[in-house]
Amino acid sequence: MHDSPDPGDRRDAVCVVGAGASGLTAVKNLRELGFQVDCYERETSVGGAWNWRHDRSPVYAGAHLISSRPLTEFPDFPMPDSWPDYPHHSQVLSYLERYSAHFGLGEHIWFGTEVVSAVPTGDGGWEVTTQSTGGGASRTSRYAALVVANGHNWEPRRPEIPGEFRGRVLHAAAYKDPSLLRGRKVLVVGGGNTGCDIAVDAAQQASRVWHSTRRGYWYAPKYVLGRPADQVADRLLRWRLPVRLRQWLYRRTVALTTGDLTRFGVPAPDHQPYESHPVVTSQLPYYLGHGRITPVPDVRAFDGPAVELADGSRIEPDLVITATGYRPRFEFLAPELLDADEHGRPDLHLHAFARKHPTLVVIGLVQPDSGLFPLAHWQSVAAARWLRLRRTDPARATAVQQKESAKPLAAWSRRRVVKTERHWFEVDHVDYLRSLESLLTEMEPAA
Amino acid sequence: MTAFDLIRFRDWTDPVPPAEREVASLLPDDDEGHPPVLFVPGREHGAAVFAEHWLPRTAGRGFPAHALTPRPGGDPRARAHDVVQTAASLPRQTVLVGHGSGAAAVARALGRYPARAAVLVAPVLGTPVPGLPMLGGRRRTVPPRPVGAPPVLVVGSPDDKVVSPKALDRAAAAYGGAPLMFPGMGHEMMLEDSWAEPIDAILDWLTKQL
């Protein structure tokens, strides 16, 4: 494998961090363009977030996709068409395992190995130090490029709630099985997809369920007009309807299907449709309508057995589950490499390409209004072609970089979204793919 | 459309519905790690057309061999979908071999699935023009650029009554090569007495590519 006198010098090889969906597609697409790849995965198997056996997996027993199959699968490796519209998380894992086996990716992955630091060498290369997950001696190797695909849904973002609580508080990351909820009084905090799913689980298991959200959301049903809702929404995008018209249609559709949830006490959305990450749940309105879930406002403080809410009322749950999301974490990289601000928000071109380090790419750090896998696939195709162009035609690579770096953020992230940490990486999948397509076309050899 | 095909509204909003697909398989005695080979027949045939000669020969040379009958009556998109679904269901990156109009389904599938390699045998790549006889009465279609840049081989015969030598040249040129010719053979190469010559040549080529 090593053709250099220094066994730690991997020359033109690329280092990929993580063997979840984004890492796997990075390995595949780099290999496809002829790159040697070493992928480091801290767990002992592939799948990342979708592998429930993994420490850092956020999936819970009942988790199903919220984007339908055609908008979720890798564009060059379809999920079986006999699968349901919205597969279960265990099916997604088996899909990723088959993807890895089908393309022979396993032999390029070092399992049980964690990247502890990655430092630029100054000549475009990277010194990557790895360690086996259980400890042990570390090892440093040199690579020509670094592709980071370590996921961004594993480091819990815990709300700061003042006071002491006598019951149990759990972040959704640690929630796995609805048996935990059986017969208990449960408060679920957070109105995102996970918060809604857990509230629905609780509605079927717990003796009492409160659902606390800071703001109102647009809760889209999974099916409209007899089709998966995202497929219907993409039809509107296909017709290039202006966003205002799409927002009007969205409001009409919600009015005709889910209906007005404020009559159950849910706050009205403080933003227009498409201005926050889509929350897709058909079951939340159902259980609200059956009185199994009581909507409550934001949590203000804990006080012994009680939880004090923003409207001054108090409730006494046994268990509080905070479904307040995750924050991105790159502990093996100095923050300036990603141009991260003081809040830890990286500033990357297309949320992928480091601005000052042309051999550093992050795959999968986007929140699309579709499945993530197609975007991660095309990001890694673009990364592989970019790294190849740097090698085969440096002058052209420089020209492409100059042109791309001049593009304003609005060129690839047109969505106006609610300004919260949750929406740092929010993109419209069609706009985003068009931007990647333009980058790919720019890198094509001149005809 | 650009050389890349990122925006797939049709597939996203109107996915091809699932269908039962018949797949005939013959596995080699020992797994030598060779990629599976998936044969795709033209519209006038089913998987059975490969069962007598080409499937056993392929398995005999150590390749897991499969032949697909795409859904009956499917449009070109549905037929290509059936090829991609079957290829993706196999355990390893698959070699696609299409015959006649099956080659058109394979050519279209190559725009969707990164095959290990592909072979177009006596390919009928155009779409038929209604009211005109099959020979020549076809609209020329440009096949999509294959994803993953697999090696592609075009195989044919100068004596094929269905596909002209010119059409073979054109098909091979679309993939940057020249056709491999077997004079004296007709269109149904896998059924003729000399069936062994083309499949042996295909498997030799494949072995060289791997």
> pLDDT (tens digit, 0 to 9) for every residue of chain A, 447 residues total?
445 567 799 999 999 999 999 999 999 999 999 999 999 999 999 999 999 999 899 999 999 999 999 999 999 999 999 999 999 999 999 999 999 999 999 999 999 999 999 999 999 999 999 999 988 889 999 999 999 999 999 999 999 999 999 999 999 999 999 999 999 999 999 999 999 999 999 999 999 999 999 989 999 899 999 999 999 999 988 888 888 998 999 899 888 888 889 999 999 999 988 888 889 999 999 999 999 999 999 999 999 999 999 999 999 999 999 999 999 999 999 999 999 999 889 999 999 999 999 999 999 999 998 999 999 999 999 999 999 999 999 999 999 999 988 887 777 776 666 777 777 888 999 999 999 999 999 998 765
Domain segments of chain A: what residues? 9-154+327-443, 159-324
* CB-CB neighbors (< 8 A) of B16 in chain A: 81
As a whole number of angstroms, the distance between CA A120 and CA A15 comes to 12
As a whole number of angstroms, the distance between CA A258 and CA A278 comes to 14
Nearest to A81 among B18, B113, B147 (CB): B18
Sign of CA dihedral A335, A339, A344, A350: negative
pLDDT confidence bin for B136, thresholds 50/70/90: low
Question: For domain A9-154+327-443, is the CATH number 3.50.50.60?
Answer: yes
Q: Is-contact A302 A317, C-beta < 8 A?
A: no
- Any CB–CB contact under 8 A between A341 and chain B? no
Walk across the sheet containing B117-121 and list its strands: B22-26, B65-69, B37-40, B95-99, B117-121, B152-156, B180-181
Flag whether pLDDT at B1 surpasses 50.
Answer: no
* CB-CB neighbors (< 8 A) of B88 in chain A: 77-78, 80, 102
* CB-CB neighbors (< 8 A) of A81 in chain B: 15-19, 81, 85
* CB-CB neighbors (< 8 A) of B146 in chain A: none
Nearest to A77 among B4, B16, B88 (CB): B88
* CB-CB neighbors (< 8 A) of B147 in chain A: 76
Please list, residue by residue across A244-263, b when 16 or more beta carbons sit within 10 angstroms of its beta carbon and e when fewer do.
eebbeebeebbeebbeebee
pLDDT score of B2: 66
Domain segments of chain B: what residues? 3-209
Contacts 24+ apart (CB under 8 A), A424-428: A424/A328, A424/A345, A424/A367, A425/A152, A425/A328, A425/A351, A425/A365, A425/A366, A425/A367, A426/A276, A426/A277, A426/A367, A426/A368, A426/A369, A427/A351, A427/A366, A427/A367, A427/A368, A427/A369, A427/A375, A428/A274, A428/A368, A428/A369
* Parallel, antiparallel or unpaired: strands B65-69 and B37-40: parallel
As a whole number of angstroms, the distance between CA A112 and CA A227 comes to 42
Q: Is ipTM over 0.90?
A: yes
As a whole number of angstroms, the distance between CA B77 and CA B86 comes to 14
Q: Is-contact A267 A213, C-beta < 8 A?
A: yes
CATH class entry, domain A159-324: alpha beta
Nearest to B6 among A32, A81, A378 (CB): A378
- Substitution target from A76, A98, A428, A433 for chain B, most B beta carbons within 10 A: A76
Domains A9-154+327-443 and A159-324 share a fold: yes
Topology at the third CATH level for domain B3-209: Rossmann fold (3.40.50)
- Nearest-Cα residue of chain A relative to residue B13: A231
Q: Answer whether A437 sits within 8 Å of B112, measured CB to CB.
A: no
pLDDT confidence bin for B73, thresholds 50/70/90: confident
pLDDT score of B139: 67
Amino acid at A354: A
* CB-CB neighbors (< 8 A) of B90 in chain A: 102
Q: A-B interface: how many C-beta pairs under 8 angstroms?
A: 82
Nearest to A76 among B9, B14, B113 (CB): B113
